[in-house]
Amino acid sequence: MVKERLYKLSAKELSDLMSKREISSYETVKDIAERMEEVETIVKSYITTNIYKAIAAARKIDKFIYKKKRIRGGKFIYRTKNIEPLTGIPIAVKDNITTKGIHTTCGSNILGNYKPIYDATVINKIKESNMILTGKTNMDEFAMGSSTENSSFWTTHNPWNLNNVPGGSSGGSAAAVAVGETPLALGTDTGGSIRQPAALCGVVGLKPTYGLVSRFGLIAFASSLDQIGPITRNVQDCALLLNIIAGHDSLDSTSVFKDKEDYTKYLKEDISGLKIGIIKELMGEGISNYVKGAVYKAINIFSSLGAFCEEISLPSLKFALSAYYIIAPAEASSNLARYDGIRYGLRAKKVKSFRSMYRKTRSQGFGDEVKRRIMLGTYALSRGYYEAYYLQAQKVRTLIINDFKKVFKKFDVLISPTTPSVAFKIGEKFEDPLTMYLSDICTIPVNLAGIPAISIPCGLKNNLPIGLQIIAPHFEEGLLIKTAYNFEKKFNFKLKPLYRKF
């Protein structure tokens, strides 16, 4: 019997122990529940917990894993058939992914009481894999933010330092994985919302190629940018979870027809000869010196593993932030027009007319950041400004895509910092939106280009994690996983919040 607390183990370690019948899913979920009792009131990772249903689901799965076969010599002989990877493993899900009968709020008052009548495709996939939902994690309202301070419910705290933000918008998912409230989580990434909180919380976050993972059931922010992806404690767990959620879905018109791939086959310790480009534009002004130092140390590690590293330039990246903050708000303005107080969600009371009801519902239901982006997007799409702003931003997007295509003809992967700095103090940037937007300067280009990227820990500053971003061409998630796995093995990062007593 395992003596160590189960919440400290990776998903793969838990799965292996279940396969050997040394632990049960019930014991795992119960230990996760105990950890949640210890830390949730302090870290505040979840909006909605699902622990009672999770325990019931675990007992049901254990009946399958531990099904009695026959008695020999007075002892039960259990079924010997191997269980599927991640069967019985807990997982948390960001609260903008629909879950049938379970609140899905998007961190917003306007959806505060919304219970979907259907599951998102990724939820169906994790259920089919017999994984267990522990709850819905906190997030910036409608995924608009970089700190999880924009949630309409509460601010999530970084488990490395409770005075600091966990990043955003998937801050609840990243904090929950880092502190041991779940071994696995799903987040969403529109401009860095998986990778940025993963970097600030010292965990692994992967933004897949646009179209690799179904967006059906994801409540939209910016439809041409949004993507669901895994947040895990290590690269191996990331590969296992990506195996489950990736794949074509007829319910999503942007889902790509592609042969199913086993990403665990890329967990090999050999990157000799790999060509790595260091993005010059993401190592300059605005990036903290200690972050640059950690990235250069990572470069030395890659070189010691036999990789070839060279600085490269993508000139169009200097326009990425500006283009993103026209395209994303424009799409948000269109997507959020559906919240009108009529069909679902919040409806203002004591109104005298339809116009008054519509205005008061949106005024009461949306927070300041969401209102700000709706206004920006509506302005960019308005008559007389569409060509000057939105159309020009899309042209810049094309330049960025072409710049990435050009460098990938020579290099296998690219690297940069994930964030310009470590996690900042809660409240430090909340009143300064422009400074907050700069937190995503390294991650946004990847979303505009629709290519995959992963963030992995590469150092510490003042006991706060630093993230390294690795970028690959379209549908080269396997190469990302192989590159990240080799670095992770050599760097051997320790996730300290797992062992912290709050």
- The Cα-based distances of 335 to 146, 218, 219, 242 in angstroms read 20, 12, 9, 27
Per the annotation, the verdict on 356 as an active-site residue is no
Q: Which two tokens stand for residue 166?
A: 């966990």
Selecting among 12, 94, 429, 482, the annotated active-site residue is 94
Residue 81: which residues within 8 A CB-CB, separation 6 or more? none
Supply the angle between the helices 25-43 and 51-65 in degrees, to the nearest 10.
160
Q: How are beta strands 275-279 and 184-188 bridged, if at all?
A: unpaired
Residue 317 structure tokens: 């990246």
What is the number of residues in the chain?
A: 502
Catalytic residue among 15, 193, 416, 439: 193
Element spanning 73, H or E: none
Q: For the chain, what is the total number of helices (H) and then of strands (E)?
A: 15, 13
Residue labelled with tokens 């119960």: 30
Q: Please confirm whether the linkage preceding 169 is cis (ω < 30° from 0).
A: yes
The residue annotated as part of the active site, out of 10, 169, 316, 333, is 169
Could you confirm whether 333 is annotated as catalytic? no
Q: Given CA atoms 378, 380, 381, 385 in this order, what sign does their dihedral have?
A: positive
Residue that has been written with the tokens 């708000």 in this structure: 329
Contacts of 407 (CB under 8 A, 6+ apart): 277, 312, 314, 414
Contact 134, 181 (CB under 8 A): yes
Half-sphere exposure of 367 (CA within 13 A, CB side): 22
Do 46 and 179 contact (CB within 8 A), yes or no?
no
Pick the closest to residue 469 from 445, 493, 436, 448 (CA basis): 445
Say if CB 190 and CB 219 are below 8 A apart.
no
Give the count of alpha carbons within 13 A of 188, CB side only.
Answer: 35
Taking the chain, what is the end-to-end CA distance rounded to the nearest angstrom? 26
Cα dihedral sign, 66-72-74-75? negative
207 as an active site residue: the answer is no
| Cis status of the peptide bond prior to 151, with omega within 30 of 0 | no
Q: Which residues are catalytic?
A: 94, 169, 193
